Amino acid sequence: MTYAVRARGVTKSFGDVLALETIDLDVERGEIHGLVGPNGAGKTTLLGLLLGLASPDAGSLEILGTQVGRAPSVHEGVAGFVEGPGLYPSLTARKNLATLAVLRGIEPRTRVAEVLHEVGLTEVADEPVQGFSLGMRQRLGLASALLGRPRLLVLDEASNGLDPAGKRQAHAVLTELARTGTSIILSSHRMDDVESLCSEVTILDTGRVVFSGPPATLAAEVPALDYRLVLT
């Protein structure tokens, strides 16, 4: 079995706040894994560890076969964002991507056109991003993460605020990426946001894993109180 992520006993504190407490997480190659939990559960903290924005205080974290150390570092093959993709509203979609590509040392000429096509934004590529719907911005954010052909894609609140059509489009892109071997981990406040898309789900609550497994088995395994907690 090839794991994109293997976490065992991962712990992370900010001062007195224990944001993650002995977390275990397995994400296989080509798996779409949902990370669900209420405010303050630790989702963003865990995604930040995967992206190399911070490092664990304790425990073992292996990403794409490499053990993560105790200092923040770039994780080769991992891309994504926490708290929004950071786009320039006055620039066109193409210019946004070309700028990011240059900053990351990626040859933009062909790659920008490819990722625009992958997320279905070719027709609006030369329009300024400020006129884009939320769904289009989300897909452009996804395109920016895809520029470097990541093997692990990390997305925070990926379908937050999307209308049903926007969600369907985003889900179709992610499903296709997973089919071709990309592992994806995406967070949400809501179980119903991720259960149709994800084959595995981890539910966090106040820094601890309260459930991990296929979404269909959730109702049987988690006490009714906890189940309601993640649906609100």
Residues near ligand ATP (CB under 6 A): 14, 17, 19, 37, 39-45, 189
Least Cβ distance, residue 81 to ligand ATP (angstroms) = 13
Least Cβ distance, residue 164 to ligand ATP (angstroms) = 22
- Judge whether 150 and 106 are in contact, CB under 8 Å: no
Q: Which is nearer to ligand ATP, 37 or 148 (CB)?
A: 37
Least Cβ distance, residue 134 to ligand ATP (angstroms) = 18
Q: Which is nearer to ligand ATP, 33 or 43 (CB)?
A: 43
Q: Which is nearer to ligand ATP, 41 or 93 (CB)?
A: 41
Least Cβ distance, residue 122 to ligand ATP (angstroms) = 32
Q: How many CB atoms lie within 10 A of CB 67?
A: 9
- CA 200/CA 67 separation, integer angstroms: 23
Least Cβ distance, residue 210 to ligand ATP (angstroms) = 13
Nearest to 173 by CA among 197, 149, 200, 148: 197
Nearest to 27 by CA among 48, 47, 57, 52: 47
Place of tokens 């789900």: 201
User: Taking the mean position of all CA atoms in its chain, how far away is CA 114?
Assistant: 21
Q: Could you please report the per-residue DSSP string of 120-174?
A: T-GGGTTSBGGG--HHHHHHHHHHHHHTT--SEEEESSTTTT--HHHHHHHHHHH
Q: Which is nearer to ligand ATP, 48 or 148 (CB)?
A: 48
Q: Which is nearer to ligand ATP, 42 or 135 (CB)?
A: 42
